[in-house]
Chain A
Amino acid sequence: MRMEPDSPTRAGAADSGPPQLAVLSRNEIEALCARAARGAGLGWGHAEEAGFAVGWLHAQGIDGATALLAHLDGAAGRAWRDLCPVVGPGKWVARGRHPICPLALGAALSDHCELPEGRLAGGLSVSSASHPVLVLPFLSRVAGILGETVRMRFFCGAIDIGCDRLSGDAGLLAGLVEAAFTLSPRPGPAGAGHSHAGGYPQATLSALGDLALRTTVPPSARSRADAGAGTGDND
């Protein structure tokens, strides 16, 4: 049997059986997703953003981990310049034919929110982002910085995002592999859409665990010896 040392959901009791959906703490899903993103090749800074994004969605009851996995799989092997947005006032576009990485996009939206290129007043259009549900946490950050609600409109719905809540068609967005959208500020708070965190498919967690393992080093006799006491510890 293949061991999965990075899976946080290995069942403990022999008779408990593997659950269909595994319930993780926010801390666990953040840590797993950050490591998986790094294992997939993102820089440490964006790997942290991946953990933040999935953790924020977790608190809203949305499975961002499956979207992250799908994005990381789809973007595997692509250079940064093909993942990051080309930034301009009122309009952000992908550099090539692929959709923009939602983590690169979200981080850049957050970084630019107080700059002319990132201004939302008057509307900001984004040509196409991969797995756009992962952008929502960054818009929550923008909402917190600006003290406003951010409205995202996409072809089949709209979502209002506040600093710790969202309302609207997040369920629809979560199902999209890619989408173009526009962003604009909206006065007043976002409606309360908070729900309890659900579970995660075992297959998602297992695959993220495999990616996360790429950040680890297989043990050696020497490393095991170095990790312990110089003398026996059984005293």
Chain B
Amino acid sequence: MNAGTSLAAPGASPGPRPPGVVMRLARMGAAHPTRLSFLRVMLRRMEQEGWEFERSVWQIDNCGVGRAVYRAIGPERCYSLVAFAHDLPEEMRSDRVIATAWDATFALFDGTPDEADLDRLQANVPLQEAGRISPRELSLSRANRSVRLWAHVVESLAEGRQPDADAIAATGYLMRTTAVYGSGKFGAADRRDIAARPELAGPFQAEMLSVWLTRQFTVDIVEHLATAKGGAAAVRLAPGIRHSLGVGNSTGLGVAPFLVRHPMLLHNWTAAREEALARVRALGAATPRAVAALRAAHAEACRNAADWRSEDPAQTARLADLRADLRRIGARLKAFPGDGPRPWDAIWLWGERELSLEGQEQLFALLIEPHGDLVDELADRMSVEEPVAVRIDGAMQLGTLREILRDRYGWALAIDFTRPENAARFWYVSEDKLEPRLGDRASDAGAEREQPLCIARLASELDAALEVRDAGETVAAFLLHHPEHRFMVRRTQITARQPYAEVRDNLVAADMRPIDLMRCKLAFFGANRFDPRSDRWVRISLFQGAPYPLEMKRAGT
């Protein structure tokens, strides 16, 4: 939705929020999806470019076993979701990464697969990590049914009636993905090889397309099974219910370290968001169209918050805060825009003073929503080809490096790591499918194999090493003597250039909540209905309320 822009108000414009405010775990863990979220970016492109969609293969039997292909046809290229439906025994259904079988498995194919491609994929995709795909594939994923909802929906539709609205609202999806792999994983195409394509240049666009097409598959197969069971008596899902269903996602610790391992990406994602807010705050007026769009976005956020369920005590309390904050925002909107010089800045500053972090980050999403023409192009800045080893500036003097360290990592240097609670945890990779996990340093084995996610402590150790060196010495000479600091020197130089590159909290502290990292990343994806199942396991929903591919534009029509 574009609601027009206004000239910036005179005087100094509000700048982006500083990293010390933005990059704190508590705030990252309150992130909400915005119009710059990756699934929104993908949907906009597909709509603007007139992509067409078709279900070109549907070979599913009455037990729900078989294969299907969905094609997304763009102006230059086409992509196909190849779906395999399985008959999974109840006892084998698990969302854990250590699972070995799923209700459905998927690959996103580059182009249109022929029978030989489908046979090759059928031999590998159902095995997931134990199989191999090829550079013709862009992603590999799987999904499990919602046991709560699946049987109820199939039976209801088979008997000619719609499923219970409360049951639909309580779950919000028919299937949830439990992993979506891209970027060269298990033999898939390297991101470098496809990143020049405009439709895949943005972050996670292939993965988003895969999940969106998966959403179509979930409603198609549930209706197929209802028809198989009920015959002529069966009915299709009512449009309103279809619209409200998303694709669930069940995510564990695996996604948490991503933001730490990709500092340049984290910076670009965050810098784009913060620039968007700064641009909106700088506006000198609010057009009636923008005000109407803001009120509509607020109404939608209220509906979302009302339907958002969680049994997690912390999230339940936050949801209460959010609902209360949305009421306050609603009251504040009655007097919006008022007659001040910068109405958007004024409401933002009011929110910073008055709202919880949940409420503030919700307000962030609301304020940029009416301003697509002002902020949508920022999505083009969110990608970066991040090399596995960024070049180090060896000519930099240690005095300069230490100044940067003190400026960018002052929060870390203030932590006393001799206190057990400040080094209570350690991140490690388990032999089980190489998944990241979090250990207790005092009681768990394996701390000697700690992953370098303890950034604050590494910064502290680098600072201690620099303290006894000559400030005029070069980084190159220092690293010849201290190879153990190469990792942290590189990060420090990255963060000097890209200040949002680092999470500014101690990631091995006793009170650190991994789900804060997870929510931040998932909000960038566009996920909502964040529902923690523990402090390191979360359910979310994607594409709820969005159109379905086959509703957008059918091929040949």
Within 8 A of B (CB), among A1-32: 5-6, 8-13, 15-16, 23-28, 30-31
What separation, in Å, do the CA atoms of A104 and B438 have in the docked complex? 31
Are A234 and B93 in contact, with the CB atoms below 8 A? Answer: yes
Cβ contact within 8 Å between A52 and B187? no
What A residues does B387 contact at CB under 8 A?
52
A194 at the interface (CB under 8 A from B): no
Decide: A6 near B434, CB < 8 A? Known: A43-B487, A223-B439.
yes
Given contacts A24-B187, A217-B449, contact A231 B533 (CB under 8 A): yes
Q: Are A45 and B485 in contact (CB under 8 A)?
A: yes
Contacts of A227 in B (CB 8 A): 96-97, 252-253, 430, 435, 437, 536-537
Q: Which residues of A contact B483 (CB under 8 A)?
A: 42-43, 45-46, 80, 84, 104
B452 contacts which chain A residues (CB < 8 A)?
44
Contact A51 B388 (CB under 8 A): yes
Q: Which residues 98-138 in B have Cβ within 8 Å of A in the complex?
A: 98, 123-124, 127, 130-132, 135
Q: Report yes or no: B395 in contact with A115, Cβ–Cβ below 8 A.
A: yes
Contacting chain A: which of B188-196, B263-271, B286-294, B328-336?
B188-196
Q: Which chain B positions have C-beta within 8 A of A113?
A: 394
When the two chains form their complex, are residues B388 and A55 in contact, meaning their CB atoms are under 8 A apart? yes
Decide: B431 and A218 in contact? CB cutoff 8 A. yes
- The residues of A that contact B465 with a CB separation of less than 8 Å are none
Task: Kindly list chain A residues whose C-beta atoms are within 8 Å of the C-beta of B533.
Answer: 229-231, 233
B123 contacts across to A, CB distance below 8 A: 12-13, 15-16
A235 contacts B190, C-beta separation under 8 Å: no
Distance, CA A39 to CA B522, complexed state (A):
31
CB distance from B194 to the nearest CB of A (A): 11
A195 at the interface (CB under 8 A from B): no
Looking across the interface, which residue of chain B has its beta carbon closest to that of A39? B449
Do residues A28 and B185 form an inter-chain contact, with CB atoms below 8 A? yes
A25 and B388 within 8 A (CB): no
Q: Most B CB atoms within 10 A — which of A87, A112, A213? A: A112
A64 interface hit (Cβ, 8 Å): no
CB pair B188–A25 under 8 Å, yes or no, is yes
Cβ-neighbour of A233 out of B90, B250, B488 (below 8 A): B250
Given contacts A13-B124, A45-B485, A112-B476, contact A23 B445 (CB under 8 A): no
Contact partners of B484 in chain A: CB under 8 A:
43, 45
Q: How far is the CB of A87 from chain B (nearest CB, A)?
A: 7
**Contact: B132 with A26, CB < 8 Å?**
no
Q: Which of B93, B437, B485, B534 contacts A223 (CB 8 A)?
A: B437
User: Are B537 and A5 in touch, CB under 8 angstroms?
Assistant: no
**Do residues A233 and B434 form an inter-chain contact, with CB atoms below 8 A?**
no
Asked if A112 and B394 make an inter-chain contact with CB atoms under 8 angstroms apart, the answer reads yes
Contacts of A214 in B (CB 8 A): 449
Q: Mark B48-61, 1 if CB is under 8 A from A, else 0.
A: 00000000000000
Shortest Cβ gap from B464 to chain A (Å):
16
B400–chain A nearest beta-carbon distance, Å: 14
Give the residues in chain B near A141, CB-CB below 8 Å.
391
Q: Is the CB of B429 within 8 A of A115?
A: no
Chain B residue nearest to A25 (CB atoms) is: B184
In contact, B430 and A229 (Cβ under 8 angstroms): no
Q: Residue of A at shortest CB range from B474?
A: A115
Q: A25 to B135: give the CA distance in the assembly, Å.
A: 8
Q: Is B424 interfacial (CB 8 A cutoff)? A: no
Q: Is there a chain A Cβ closer than 8 Å to B489's Cβ?
A: yes
B166, CB-defined interface residue at 8 Å: no
- Per a CB cutoff under 8 Å, which of A8, A107, A233 touches B486? A107
User: Please, which residue of chain B has its CB at the minimum distance from the CB of A16?
Assistant: B123
Partner of A26, one of B130, B190, B428: B190
CB distance A45 to B487 under 8 Å?
A: yes
Residues of A close to B431: CB separation below 8 A: 5-6, 213, 216-219
Within 196-235 of A, Cβ neighbours of B (below 8 Å) are at: 213-220, 222-224, 226-231, 233-235
Query: A24-B187, A27-B190, A43-B487 given as contacts; is B432 within 8 A of A108 (CB)?
Result: no
CB neighbours (8 Å) of A215 from chain B are 429, 449, 451
- Complex Cα spacing A99 to B95, Å: 50
On whether the beta carbons of B449 and A216 are closer than 8 Å, the reply is yes
Q: Decide if A87 touches B437 in the complex (CB within 8 Å).
A: no
With A10-B130, A227-B253 already in contact, the answer to whether A48 and B388 are too (CB < 8 A) is: yes
Please state if B534 and A52 are interface contacts (CB–CB under 8 Å): no
Task: Name A225's closest neighbour in chain B (CB-CB).
Answer: B534
Chain A neighbourhood of B131, CB < 8 A: 12-13
Cα of A235 to Cα of B170 in the assembled complex, Å: 12
Interface string of B195-215 (1 = CB under 8 A from A): 000000000000000000000
Query: B132 contacts which of A11, A42, A216, A229 (Cβ < 8 Å)?
Result: A11
B317: CB under 8 A from chain A? Answer: no
- Is B2 in the interface zone, CB < 8 Å from A? no
Q: Does B259 contact A (CB under 8 A)?
A: no
Residue of B nearest to A113 (CB): B394
Query: Could you tell me if A45 and B444 are in contact, using CB atoms closer than 8 angstroms?
Result: no
Q: A115-B394, A227-B537 are in contact. List 8 more A-B contacts (CB 8 A).
A: A107-B392, A108-B480, A112-B476, A114-B395, A216-B430, A217-B445, A219-B432, A228-B96
10 contacting pairs across A/B (C-beta < 8 A): A10-B130, A26-B190, A52-B389, A111-B392, A118-B394, A217-B439, A219-B431, A227-B253, A229-B534, A235-B148
Chain A contacts to B: CB under 8 angstroms: 5-6, 8-13, 15-16, 23-28, 30-31, 34, 42-46, 48-49, 51-52, 55, 80, 84-85, 87, 104, 107-108, 110-115, 117-118, 141, 145, 213-220, 222-224, 226-231, 233-235
Give me the 3 closest cross-chain CB pairs, A-B, nearest first. Answer: A45-B486, A12-B131, A27-B184
